[in-house]
Structure 1
Amino acid sequence: MSVRITRLLVLAALVGAGLGATAAAKTTHHHKKAAAAPKGPTLVWRGDVTSARGVVTDAATAWEKTGHGHLEVQSFNTASGLDAVSGGLADLAGAARDSDGGPAESQLVFTPVAWDALVIITHPDNPVGNLSLKQVHDIYYGKITNWNQVGGPDAPINVYAVASPGDGVEYSLRKLLFGRGNQPVAAPRLYVNTAKLEEAVTLDPHALGVSTLAGVSGNRKLKPLSLDGVPPTVANIADGSYPLYTPVYLVTNPSSPKAADARAFVDFMQTEEGKAVLRKHAILPYADAAALAGMSDARRAKVLAEVGARPLPSSGVPLAAPGATYAERAAVSPGSQRTVEARQVLGDRQADSKAQAVLADAQQKARAAGVQGAADPAAAPHAPRTYTVVKGDTLGSIAKKNSVEVAQLREWNHLKGDTIRLGQVLQVSAN
């Protein structure tokens, strides 16, 4: 073998050794990174694209950096997310609407974490920059069909919407404009979610649709419209001057094996670190404008008055009149779950009233007989009210029925979490 060939072989051996060392170093580095991975559980989040973009994607990264675990984000639409959480296929969902009151959603807990705006969008080339609430209502209702009816060009208004009737953005908009979220609208162009809807609007100068401020913020291919002269901005959401604001919810299932971990993520979104993620996406943290919740009824009434729509009957008579609630529901659907729940509330209230009447009668007789130390019925402590858990109940739904907080139910019943069982008797008042 020549000296030249020998030197080449030695050089090749040295290079190979160097490459092997590099590969070994990379392997070692990979193992170190793997060892540093979050040790917490993997949670699955599924929901609408709006929540994914505005709340969850960056929040998942921040969550993992804190060492809690991994969050797998599966964005599609609201209905798929709620179905997945209800059926145990996901641990969390995101929605731009609250519960529809149906049996599947009544077992879920909707926690508001942010405020966003429902934004009417069109193509940037469209000269129209402002609509009134009445005009938006009439466009979706099919009364206004041409842009020239609202100060624009002589061209048809191509209304785009999301196909799913339970989509958070569409449902919330229709509930505000028509009084009910399932109102049919004149929108023949349907898409699977708001992301696909937005893509379609960018291609059509005559398009109109609805998205959210988080969804369209910074997108120059879309033009958000002002409503009655008020543009959709975070500041205008915060003071309530922009009328179409909506809570953004994270949704959990208290019956899930990972309910505690899912709740921990919800709580994380209300920390300063979680709020920073929201603000980054032009979303207002819920606690930053908590007063908006108290303005909700007045806002809805004002919107309905402006668009000329009559308020529809409420979903139920206030629980201060449980007899009326039961009578109303029994007349409509005597065998439904809601009727059973109303009957349970009525029975609990009647039993409580009877117990108080018996106590008052006994004390009155004692005073009449001259028994010393007989207490005044008005000053006597009342027995705490109770509620028996029925199928479909959650701690959140029971709290809502009895006008109390979930935290109070936990305290009064010594509950460590949100798990309850069928037939369980819960205390639903302090006394």
Structure 2
Amino acid sequence: MKRTLIALVAAIAPALASAAVTVKGSDTMVILAQRWAEEYMKQNSAKRVQVTGGGSGVGIAALINGTTDIANASRAMKDAEKAKVRERYNILPTETAVAKDGVAIYVNAANPVQQLTIEQLEKIYAGDVTNWEDVGGSDAPIVLYSRENSSGTYVFFKENVLKGADYAPSAQTLPGTAAVVNAVAKEKNGIGYGGAAYAKGVKEVKVVGPDGQGYTPSAENVASGKYPLSRPLFMYTRGKPSGEAKEFIDFCLSPAGQKIVTQVGYFPVK
């Protein structure tokens, strides 16, 4: 009997160990979420957190169809998406802001342009301005890089810069912020956008705020709201967070979790 019990425990132990909180979505947040998960599991050896990217839309779709516990999103859920959660589970999703971000505008390190207005960015990404000379740069064609339409950053930029209009057909869509940064770093006439934490090997152009001053997405400028492309980063759950999902989200919001936010290059909510 004792041997049978030991064998049973040995058989189910791997299954218990593999049970994990699943976190899926925003590519902007994936490095941050992975760092959170690593530290959380280090402090709680019996816990498991599985993090994958794919974009905010992918994470929200997974939340709706029940294949993730937490959806990471760099944009707010749409009313239609919330309605699908309610229709399927008879409960509304809960939104938890876990960090802040400034959507940075990347140009090649050799580009002489120092700042751009929202209007200039709108015209660039709509395809109405196609030469850097028209916005204070060299006489050279502007090469546009964008995120794919499942990206929350794509949606945020479309709503807040393009005012809901379509991107120029010439905009090259890339699967992740790291890919956008890499492309801009290699293309001297390139421009792209994405999370401030990814701006390595490229130049961040200042964005002009309502006061007429240009601002970078620094901690101070994002916290004060002076940087005009600031945004919260969210975790979504079906209903109020509970169980191990709540424990993980609580860790993300704890002083230790918010310290990781700063270390990664984003900005704390607390």
Q: TM-score range by the shorter chain?
A: 0.7 to 0.9
Q: CA deviation at 1:184?
A: 1.1
Greater RCO (Cα-Cα under 8 Å, separation 6 or more): 2
Q: CA deviation at 1:146?
A: 0.6
Number of residue equivalences: 242
| Residue in structure 2 matched with residue 286 of structure 1 by the alignment | 269
Q: CA deviation at 1:179?
A: 3.9
| Residue in structure 1 matched with residue 56 of structure 2 by the alignment | 78
Q: CA deviation at 1:214?
A: 1.7
| Residue in structure 2 matched with residue 226 of structure 1 by the alignment | 206
Verify: 1:154 aligned to 2:139, yes or no: yes
1:170 pairs with 151, 154, 173, which one?
154
| Residue in structure 2 matched with residue 185 of structure 1 by the alignment | 167
Any stretches of 5+ residues in structure 1 without a counterpart? 1-34, 288-431
Q: Residues 27 and 151 of structure 2 are in contact (CA less than 8 Å); yes or no, is this contact kept in structure 1?
A: no
Any stretches of 5+ residues in structure 2 without a counterpart? 1-12, 87-91, 209-213
Counterpart secondary structure, 1:125 = coil
Counterpart secondary structure, 1:225 = strand
Matched letter for residue 223 of structure 1: K
Cα separation, 2, equivalents of 1:208 and 1:84: 31
Q: Residues 60 and 77 of structure 2 are in contact (CA less than 8 Å); yes or no, is this contact kept in structure 1?
A: no
Q: Residues 91 and 259 of structure 1 are in contact (CA less than 8 Å); yes or no, is this contact kept in structure 2?
A: no
Matched letter for residue 167 of structure 1: S
Matched letter for residue 222 of structure 1: V
- Deviations along 1:38-78, whole A, 9 cap, x unmatched? 9694111111221012x211100111122161111112211
Counterpart secondary structure, 2:120 = helix
Q: Residues 117 and 232 of structure 1 are in contact (CA less than 8 Å); yes or no, is this contact kept in structure 2?
A: yes
Verify: 1:277 aligned to 2:257, yes or no: no
Verify: 1:98 aligned to 2:72, yes or no: no
Over 3 Å counting, the alpha-carbon distance change for 1:214 and 1:226 in structure 2 is: same
Matched letter for residue 89 of structure 1: T
Q: Residues 115 and 246 of structure 1 are in contact (CA less than 8 Å); yes or no, is this contact kept in structure 2?
A: yes
Verify: 1:134 aligned to 2:119, yes or no: yes
Counterpart secondary structure, 1:110 = strand
Q: Residues 82 and 105 of structure 1 are in contact (CA less than 8 Å); yes or no, is this contact kept in structure 2?
A: no
RMSD: 2.2
Cα separation, 2, equivalents of 1:82 and 1:105: 10
- Deviations along 1:151-200, whole A, 9 cap, x unmatched? 11111111111122x411111122222444xx311153112222222222
- Scaled by the length of structure 2, what TM-score is found? 0.82
Cα separation, 1, equivalents of 2:19 and 2:148: 34
Q: CA deviation at 1:104?
A: 3.4
Return the index of the structure with the highest Cα Rg: 1
| Residue in structure 2 matched with residue 302 of structure 1 by the alignment | none
2:251 pairs with 248, 253, 268, which one?
268
Q: CA deviation at 1:243?
A: 1.1
1:31-430 to structure 2, matched below 5 A, reads 41-53=19-31, 55-67=32-44, 69-102=47-80, 103-104=83-84, 107-164=92-149, 166-180=150-164, 183-186=165-168, 187-216=170-199, 219=200, 221-228=201-208, 229-254=214-239, 259-287=242-270
Percent identity at matched positions?
Answer: 26
Q: Residues 95 and 168 of structure 1 are in contact (CA less than 8 Å); yes or no, is this contact kept in structure 2?
A: yes
Cα separation, 1, equivalents of 2:93 and 2:142: 38
Over 3 Å counting, the alpha-carbon distance change for 1:105 and 1:246 in structure 2 is: farther
Cα separation, 2, equivalents of 1:87 and 1:124: 43
Q: CA deviation at 1:259?
A: 4.7
- Deviations along 1:322-345, whole A, 9 cap, x unmatched? xxxxxxxxxxxxxxxxxxxxxxxx
Over 3 Å counting, the alpha-carbon distance change for 1:142 and 1:135 in structure 2 is: same
Cα separation, 2, equivalents of 1:259 and 1:195: 33
Cα separation, 1, equivalents of 2:156 and 2:39: 29
- Deviations along 1:1-46, whole A, 9 cap, x unmatched? xxxxxxxxxxxxxxxxxxxxxxxxxxxxxxxxxx9xx969411111
User: Larger % of strand: which?
Assistant: 2
Cα separation, 2, equivalents of 1:205 and 1:122: 8
Cα separation, 2, equivalents of 1:40 and 1:109: 26
Cα separation, 2, equivalents of 1:118 and 1:222: 14
